[in-house]
């Protein structure tokens, strides 16, 4: 059996804040992505999903844990050695305009990764640039334009063309549609789906846009305060989420057909700070299912159904609600 394109095992990333404070952004995340698969990493702002993506891309170094790409461990790999793998792992940014060099014409922007990767002969690069522009639905008319002369959707198409130029095995998409108008998002999502079917690379789709996730991804991993709380096939999680956080997140999705709306599942209060995490299950101060065991220990991420993992002691006890406990920060009574 072929190795996954990406394996993340026990990934941790903490950011020291002075002498006694630490932002615990990622706290033991594990998942894999197979070839040709699209996995969504979703959660509220501050859940740690973008930090996971940055660690995978080696834009920041993890505190601990392991990341393997095509069966090879890349965490701790010397930068010069990793540089030869970088063309195979590419990134599409959230803000398309900010990710494009305003002083470069579009043809030069797309040609730059081809030049750096040195995978094709210099004389073949102009034809490859034109091919990439056609693949993302732009064409030769934009070759000599600057980024500011394009719309937001066109700028993101340029970013996608640049990302796939080196024929990567994995593309990390960091909120690729959140900065775009609603009318343009569907076009970009259709483009991403089409390119994956044609080229066969894998996606890590980082997003809080659950509608986009449902359209593009085969599997979903849901994060809360630096940990994955549930994973499984997209259709199954949207139809019947197991974890209470997943239920709350998915109950906020708006559907065009009112008959599809699910009943509201509400959590109490605000998301805690990643500096002062609650003991036990991090969700217990907000969870209507919480019980004493949820305060004492963090539940393991384990199989609940075939192909479904969830980290919840109380999964299956939705009929037994308990009054949520107020979260007492360290050093305060409560």
Contact at 8 Å (CB) between 201 and 194?
Answer: no
Contact at 8 Å (CB) between 229 and 245?
Answer: yes
Q: What is the pLDDT of residue 100?
A: 93
The rounded radius of gyration (Å) of the Cα atoms in the chain is 21
> Strands, DSSP E only, in the chain?
6-17, 21-33, 38-42, 64-69, 72-73, 89-92, 170-174, 202-207, 219-224, 227-233, 302-305, 308-310
Q: What is the pLDDT of residue 253?
A: 67
Check whether 171 has a pLDDT greater than 80: yes
Give 71's pLDDT tier (boundaries 50, 70, 90).
very high
Q: CB 140: neighbour CB atoms within 10 A?
A: 12
Check whether 320 has a pLDDT greater than 50: no
Check whether 330 has a pLDDT greater than 60: no
Q: What is the pLDDT of residue 334?
A: 33
Mean pLDDT of 172-201: 92
Q: Is 272 exposed, middle or buried (0-12, 13-18, 19+ CB in 10 A)?
A: middle
**Residues contacting 20, CB < 8 A, separation 6+:** none
Mean pLDDT of 143-152: 95
pLDDT tens, position by position, 267-298: 888 888 899 899 999 999 999 888 899 999 99
pLDDT tens, position by position, 102-121: 999 999 999 999 998 887 88
Reported for 80-84, long-range contacts at CB under 8 A and 24+ positions apart, including other chains, are: 82/58
Among residues 161, 174, 179, the alpha carbon closest in space to that of 93 is found at 174
pLDDT tens, position by position, 78-106: 998 998 899 999 999 988 889 999 999 99
Check whether 209 has a pLDDT greater than 60: yes
- Among 95-99, 160-164, 314-318, the minimum mean pLDDT is found in 314-318
Q: What is the pLDDT of residue 254?
A: 56
Q: What is the pLDDT of residue 39?
A: 97
Mean pLDDT of 30-40: 96
Contact at 8 Å (CB) between 109 and 101?
Answer: yes
Percentage of the chain modeled with pLDDT above 70: 91
Q: What is the pLDDT of residue 321?
A: 47
| Average predicted confidence (pLDDT) for the chain | 88
Check whether 262 has a pLDDT greater than 70: no
**Residues contacting 76, CB < 8 A, separation 6+:** none
Q: What is the pLDDT of residue 131?
A: 96
Q: What is the pLDDT of residue 328?
A: 40
Q: What is the pLDDT of residue 256?
A: 55
Contact at 8 Å (CB) between 234 and 37?
Answer: no
Q: What is the pLDDT of residue 325?
A: 46
DSSP per-residue letters across 262-278? PPP----SPPPPSSSPP
Q: CB 123: neighbour CB atoms within 10 A?
A: 7
Q: What is the pLDDT of residue 78?
A: 93
């Amino acid at each position: 059996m072929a190795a996954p394109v990406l394996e993340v095992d026990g990934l941790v990333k903490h950011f020291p804040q002075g002498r006694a404070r630490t932002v615990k952004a990622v706290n033991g995340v594990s998942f894999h992505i197979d070839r040709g698969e699209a996995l969504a990493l979703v959660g509220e702002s501050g859940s740690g999903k973008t930090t996971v993506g940055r660690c995978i891309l080696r834009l920041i170094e993890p505190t601990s844990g392991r990341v393997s790409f095509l069966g090879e461990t890349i965490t701790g790999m010397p930068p010069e050695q990793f540089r030869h793998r970088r063309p195979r792992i590419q990134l599409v940014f959230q803000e398309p305009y900010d990710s494009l060099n305003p002083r470069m014409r579009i043809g030069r922007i797309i040609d730059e990764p081809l030049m750096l990767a040195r995978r094709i002969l210099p004389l073949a690069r102009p034809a490859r640039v034109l091919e990439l522009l056609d693949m993302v639905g732009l064409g030769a008319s934009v070759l000599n334009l600057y980024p500011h002369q394009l719309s937001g959707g066109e700028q993101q198409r340029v970013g996608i063309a640049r990302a796939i130029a080196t024929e990567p095995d994995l593309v990390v998409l960091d909120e690729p549609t959140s900065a775009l108008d609603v009318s343009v998002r569907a076009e970009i999502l259709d483009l991403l789906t089409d390119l994956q079917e044609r080229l066969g690379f894998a996606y890590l789709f980082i997003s809080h846009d659950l509608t986009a996730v449902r359209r593009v991804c085969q599997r979903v991993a849901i994060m809360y305060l630096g940990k994955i709380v549930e994973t499984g096939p997209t259709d199954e999680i949207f139809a019947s989420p197991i974890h209470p956080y997943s239920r709350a997140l998915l109950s906020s999705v708006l559907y065009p057909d009112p008959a599809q709306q699910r009943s509201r599942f509400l959590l109490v209060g605000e998301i805690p700070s990643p500096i002062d995490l609650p003991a036990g299950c991090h969700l217990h101060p907000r969870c209507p299912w919480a019980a004493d065991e949820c305060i004492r220990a963090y539940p393991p991420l384990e199989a609940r159904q075939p192909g479904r993992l969830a980290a919840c002691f109380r999964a299956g006890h939705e009929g037994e609600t308990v009054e949520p406990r107020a979260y007492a920060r360290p050093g305060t009574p409560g």
